[in-house]
Amino acid sequence: MDKKTKRLLGKGEIRKGIKMLAEKIDNDYEGASPVIICILKGAFVFLADLIRELKIPMKLDFISVSSYGDSSRTRGVVKILKDISIDIAGEDVIIVEDIVDTGLTLVSVHDFIKRKNPRSLKICTLLEKKVKRVKKVKIDYRGFVVPNKYVIGYGLDFGEKHRNLPEIRIMEL
């Protein structure tokens, strides 16, 4: 790796955090069968581990969005690159995201999904940065609060690389 990185969350910590999230979701959705919508690409590793910890029956779908310009300078408009394919009207829906920073991506996706009239809509994110928030987001399930640094690994990229790292690392930019 050409840039310097430092470990933030190891495999064991991530696994423990995800187990706790799954337990909460299992409790909250007892007797229900929510549709889980994964925001591509960053959340796919988290999603794969989270759903295998869940005991409730569930359906799965994917949405792909791109921010206009660099995500660190997002202006709040996201483009839907791939929409979901399941009809979620009247369904309980959970959006799964990798990391919330300004909140702009999640608010856009939340509003887009909400217009499809789900019965309920909640948000689950593995990571949250609190410093640069410009949009208020109600996060229902959160794994870890992380410092205001650029993180990679466990699905998160830098220039499309490093998504395959099994742990989460801080990258010195």
- Closest separation in Å from C-beta 118 to ligand 5GP: 21
Is 101 catalytic? The answer is yes
Q: How far is the CB of 47 from ligand 5GP (least distance, A)?
A: 13
> What is the distance between the alpha carbons of residues 30 and 53, in angstroms, rounded to a whole number?
14
C-alpha to C-alpha distances, 36 to 70, 74, 162, nearest whole angstrom:
27, 25, 25
Within positions 98 to 157, which residues make up the interface with ligand 5GP, using CB under 6 A? 98-106, 150-152, 156-157
- Identify the helix (H) or strand (E) that includes residue 60: strand 59-67
Q: What is the dihedral of CA 152, 153, 157, 163, to 10 degrees?
A: 170
3-class SS of residue 126 = strand
Determine the Cα–Cα distance for residues 158 and 94; give it in Å rounded to an integer: 26
- 14, 17, 36, 42: which one binds ligand 5GP (CB under 6 A): 42
Active site residue: 70, 101, 111, 157, which one? 101
25 or 100: CB nearest ligand 5GP: 100
Question: Least CB distance from residue 14 to ligand 5GP, whole Å?
Answer: 15
Count of residues in contact with ligand 5GP, rule CB under 6 A = 18
| Residue number, 18 or 104, with CB nearest to ligand 5GP | 104
Compute the least distance from the CB of residue 170 to ligand 5GP, in Å. Answer: 8
What is the sign of the dihedral through the CA atoms of 45, 87, 113 and 145? negative
Nearer to ligand 5GP, 5 or 74 (CB): 74
Classify residue 117 as left (phi > 0), alpha (psi -120 to 50) or beta. left
The residues binding ligand 5GP (CB under 6 A) are 42, 71, 74, 97-106, 150-152, 156-157
Q: Annotated active-site positions, please?
A: 101
